[in-house]
Amino acid sequence: MNVWVSKPAGDAIDRAVGSGRFKSRQEAIAYALEAIFIREERNVVT
């Protein structure tokens, strides 16, 4: 899957990868998407 991100988001991802927090941009983007879409669903009260 190709993901387009804004310049500020891309810069932040590059900093996170450069600092060693993530091994790759793909890992950083997957982490962010899962944090919003997967973990959020677990916290929804219905």
- Counting the structural domains of the chain, the total is 1
Any domain includes 12: yes
Give the number of other CB atoms < 10 A from CB of residue 13: 22
What mean pLDDT do residues 3-7 have?
93
SS3 24: coil
29 CA to centre of own chain = 3
- Residue 31 inside a domain? The answer is yes
Confirm whether 2 is domain-assigned: no
pLDDT confidence bin for 2, thresholds 50/70/90: confident
Round to whole Å and give the CA distance between 22 and 15: 10
Q: Which residues fall within 8 angstroms of residue 25, CB to CB, at 6 or more apart? A: 13, 14, 17
Does residue 30 form part of some domain?
yes
In a domain, 36, yes or no: yes
Residue 28 has pLDDT above 80, yes or no: yes
* DSSP-based three-state secondary structure for 28: helix
At residue 41, the pLDDT reads 57
> Is the predicted pLDDT of residue 16 greater than 90, yes or no?
yes
